[in-house]
Structure 1
Amino acid sequence: MASIKTILRKKPLANGHFPVCLRVTKDRRTKYFKTLFNIPENEWDIKGGQFNKRNANYIQNNRLLNKILDRALKIYGNLEIETEDFTLEDFEKHFRVDSNPARQKEVFSFWREIIEEMNEAGRTGNAKVNSEALNSVKLFHQREKLSFKEITPTFLNKYEVFLRSRGGTDGGIGVRMRSIRALFNFAIQRNITKEGYYPFRTYKLSKFKGKAIKKALTMDEVMKIMHINLEDYPTLINAQNYFVFSFYTRGMNFADMIKLRWKDVSYDRIHYTRSKTKGNFSIKILEPVQKILDYYKDINPHTSYVFPVLFREDYTPTQLENRKHKMLVRYNQDLKKIAAMCQINKPMSSYVARHSFANCLKQKGVATDIISESMGHKNLTVTQSYLKELESGVIDEASEMLL
């Protein structure tokens, strides 16, 4: 008797999430096949074997799960017709490897397949990053095909030189390399390539970490942005509001702000799930946040969204990603104008609000573990990277005491 079902594995990962897998049982033997998904336990419908409504993209994610399940059932049915005594190993071979194994072991075609799966799962941001990385590697390789065996430490070093020759920074190169590493991990999981070909034991990505200084504002600089009079510059008011709102909601990400609905605001709190980490937040509405909420309620009382970025309910994941990108570019441009008007000579972007929140709490003497908890970090190492600039400033002030 056979059983094919999508399930949540019982053993959690290091980040507390659980892998979503396809479980295939035949003749009292079971094999598990990983999917792209790792989620909190409360986002899973055990009985239905699918995502529940707590998952931000449950409709798109369930479509992909159904597609995986349909493919597995089709392969299993064909094997039953062709071979009466087939084994789980036979199923695995057909499920993991396409009818043309040589094509599947080719990097570019497999990469496009992963990108397609990400788009179907609603992970359009990841799909965009991987599409850009794929095009970059193709430009470097200058050939139609590339095998996983060819991606050696030497290949990666030459690719790094290529990226630097085109103005690539450590941060940008790191993004490209992490995409390749993730692709390799998918390929190994699906038996597309051998673990022995894995190049990242020799080629280390750690050299791209921590080199970029994360800029944060002081409390005085935040106050300048908050209180600057923009009556003569009405096009900049949204950027001012977005920055102040993010700062006073523990550094809420722009992607989460634009999806915030009025139903997420109740009494004196805001409830939302962070897109990046899937962590759930309940944030007290402070006075500056309440003023911003009142402002948008007055100018557009009939929309379901708090901020004037999304105006429809039927955006596809790709349309949503494109809209977010377009508005984020405009927000960052306007934020730089405001900073210049406030005579703040620091690089400005939406993420500065998050770093500034952490650093201003540290300036007030709040313990690092409390800051970490407030921001939803999984460990203190991440929080320490936010506070690095402040700590160096404190050291500078201490040194000046010797003069």
Structure 2
Amino acid sequence: MASIKTILRKKQLLNGKFPISLRVTKDRKTKFFRTPFEVHINEWDSKVGRFNKKHTQQLKSNRLLGKIEDRALEVISDLEMAQDFYTLNDFERKFRVQSNPEASNIFSFWEELIDEMKEAGRMGNADVYHHTKNSVQKFAKQKSLHFNEVSPTFLDKYEVYLRNKGGSGGGIGVKMRAIRAIFNVAIKRGVIDEKLYPFKHYKISKLKGKAIKKALNIEEVHSLQNLDLSDKPHLINSRNYFIFSFYTRGMNFADMMKLRWENVSGDRIHYTRSKTKGNFIIKIMPPVKDILDFYAKNNKPYIFPIILRENLTPTQLNDRKRKTLKKFNKDLKELAGLAGINKPVTSYVARHSFANCLKQKGTGTDIISESLGHQDVKTTKAYLKELDTAILDEASELLLP
């Protein structure tokens, strides 16, 4: 059991007064926590740890000291109920949050995590956290928001706010998962108590994206692949990126961007997927070989002309990715028009199309799952379920006379 006492520290300040601190002792170790008070030595009663009658605001100051002690005792009680063993460092983390309002400001903690992600090169997550924080700040209309204010009711109202602004279930879910992650890290690091966790009652599982995944059939992929772009040279790179992604099991754009010639060995491409850290070994199909041959003459460390120099910072890499991806998706709209494809075509459609075409050719779900790098076949089943429309339409047409 820890013990506490409010004491006068013996080191005199420049103004002639002495600081008042809260002394916490546990397992023969002691920590001191500064209070807002400073007094002359004759204004302090060391026996009871309180201001005496010579202090001009004796009653008010003693009440505040009592509140500080009560807060410390509450922290000790919570720690002893939550765990068999705790240290003074555990007490300090928990007590400082309750004593310092800024420490429980979710936006300050949020910024801290964003900075950590940027330093680790996790720029995609950093972007999601940044945009979600800005969105919550606009909704809350305040610069400071404490963890205990983010209640299930707060989240319900935030969801309504996002829907009124045109947000979809899937998009809202992304933001809610970012908020949930903030709480999980804060609890893990001892910044807040688990009882403040609002997601026991607010369920993110109800937020499901309703947008149907778009995919091309193999004929449409071939029409893009066989386009004559001799008079449209500005589209060649984007067409190559799409076809390369399709024939490399839907390789993500971020992974294509970082692909080096050293990843090519014989008739295989070896790489680690950024998102899942899964290792892939992919056979080089003829369309992929044609694209590799096209860029081989550039004599650069990277296969594609996206990263143009070495030693870019994570922020610079992310900026380059966003700029190139924006042009890529713009070019794909033009390419779809030239190929007579009346569907929205984006960079991610290549991955959807790869899965869709394998399914149409009768490939088993387990094989498709392994090809995509899904860790659970259930993910693949859910993925393919949204691509069923074309197959169902064809089956229905069998009923026609």
TM-score in same-fold range (> 0.5): yes
Q: How far, CA to CA, are the matches of 1:96 and 1:351 in structure 2?
A: 44
Cα distance in 1 between the residues matched to 2:391 and 2:200: 37
Question: C-alpha separation between the residues in 2 aligned to 1:365 and 1:117?
Answer: 45
For the Cα contact (< 8 Å) 2:224–2:335, is it kept in 1?
yes
Alignment correspondent of 2:364? 367
Task: Name the residue aligned to 2:225.
Answer: 226
TM-aligned CA distance change 1:337 to 1:192, over 3 Å: same
Overall identity of the aligned pairs, in %: 58
Indicate yes or no: 2:382 matched with 1:389.
no
Hey, what's the Cα distance between the residues in 2 that align with 1:221 and 1:96?
59
The answer for unaligned runs of 5 or more in structure 2 is 1-26, 28-84
Q: Would the aligned equivalents of 1:97 and 1:104 in 2 still touch at CA under 8 Å?
A: no
CA–CA distance in 2 between the matches of 1:331 and 1:348? 10
Q: Does 1:90 align with 2:88?
A: yes
Alignment of 1:341-352 (within 5 A): 341-352=338-349
Partner of 1:41: none
1:53 match: none
Residues 185-211 of structure 1 deviation map (CA, whole Å, 9 limit, x = unaligned): 111111222222222222222232242
What is the one-letter code of the residue matched to 1:92?
D
Q: Distance in 1 between matches of 2:386 and 2:119?
A: 39
Q: Contact conserved, 2:106 with 2:144, CA < 8 A, in 1?
A: yes
**Aligned residues of 2:360 and 2:391 also touching (Cα < 8 A):** no
State the partner residue of 2:121: 122
Report the 3-state secondary structure (helix = DSSP H, G, I; strand = E; otherwise coil) of the residue aligned with 1:223.
helix
Q: Deviations over 1:183-242 (max 9, x none)?
A: 111111112222222222222222322422111100000001100111110000001000
Amino acid across the alignment from 1:343: G
* CA gap 1:98/1:293 in 2 versus in 1, 3 angstroms: farther
Q: CA deviation at 1:160?
A: 1.4
Deviations 1:253-296 (A, max 9, x none): 00000100001101100000000000000100010000000000
> 1:336 and 2:333 equivalent?
yes
Q: Could you say if the C-alpha distance between residues 114 and 96 of structure 1 is closer, same or farther in structure 2, counting changes exceeding 3 Å? A: farther
CA drift at 1:391: 2.5
Instruction: Tell me, in whole angstroms, the C-alpha distance in 1 between the residues paired with 2:94 and 2:327.
Output: 43
Quote the residue 2:312 is aligned against: 315
Q: Quote the offset at 1:402 in angstroms.
A: 3.5
CA distance in 2, matches of 1:96, 1:221: 59
Quick one: distance in 2 between partners of 1:380 and 1:363? 18
Deviation by residue 1:8-56 (Cα, 9 ceiling, x = unmatched): xxxxxxxxxxxxxxxxxxx9xxxxxxxxxxxxxxxxxxxxxxxxxxxxx
Q: How many angstroms apart in 2 are the aligned matches of 1:105 and 1:95?
A: 11
Structure 1 pair 97–287 and aligned structure 2 pair: CA distance change class (3 A): farther
Task: Give the aligned residue type for 1:349.
Answer: T
C-alpha change, 1:98 and 1:336, in structure 2 (3 Å) is farther
How far off its partner does 1:348 sit?
1.4
- Normalised by the length of structure 2, the TM-score is 0.75
Q: Which amino acid aligns with 1:245?
A: F
Contact 2:259 2:303 in 1 (8 A): yes
Asked if 2 retains the 8 angstrom alpha-carbon contact of 1:216 and 1:389, the reply is: no
Task: Give yes or no for contact 1:97–1:192 (8 Å, CA) kept in 2.
Answer: no
Does the Cα contact within 8 Å between 1:272 and 1:281 map onto a contact in 2?
yes
Aligned residue pairs: how many? 316
Query: Which of these two proteins has the greater Rg computed from alpha carbons?
Result: 2
How big is the shift at 1:101? 4.2
Distance of 2:229 and 2:329 partners within structure 1:
17
Deviations 1:154-184 (A, max 9, x none): 1112111212222222232222111111111
Counterpart code for 1:287: P
- Residue 94 of structure 1: how far off its partner (Å): 4.3
Secondary structure at the counterpart of residue 360 of structure 1: helix
In the other structure, the counterpart of 2:256 is: 257
How far the C-alpha of 1:368 sits from its partner, in A, is: 0.2
The answer to whether the 8 Å contact 2:214/2:387 transfers is no
What's the CA shift for 1:122?
1.1
Contact kept, 8 Å, 1:153 with 1:203, in 2: the verdict is yes
Tell me the secondary structure at the aligned position of residue 390 of structure 1: coil
- Tell me the CA shift for residue 392 of structure 1: 3.3
- For the 8 Å contact 1:359–1:386, the answer to whether it is kept is no
126-135 vs 204-213, greater mean Cα deviation: 204-213
Residues 4-403 of structure 1: matches in 2 within 5 Å?
Answer: 89-94=87-92, 101-298=100-297, 300-301=298-299, 303-403=300-400
Aligned partner of 1:133: which letter?
A: T
Q: Which amino acid aligns with 1:223?
A: H
Distance 2:168 2:264 in 1: 40
What's the CA shift for 1:97? 7.4
Deviation at 1:250, TM superposition (A): 0.4
2:71 matched to which residue of 1? none
* Alpha-carbon shift at residue 310 of structure 1 (Å): 0.3
- Once residues 97 and 310 of structure 1 are traced to their aligned partners in structure 2, the CA distance between those partners, rounded to angstroms, is 48
CA distance in 1 between partners of 2:129 and 2:95 (Å): 22
Q: Which residue of 1 aligns with 2:10?
A: none
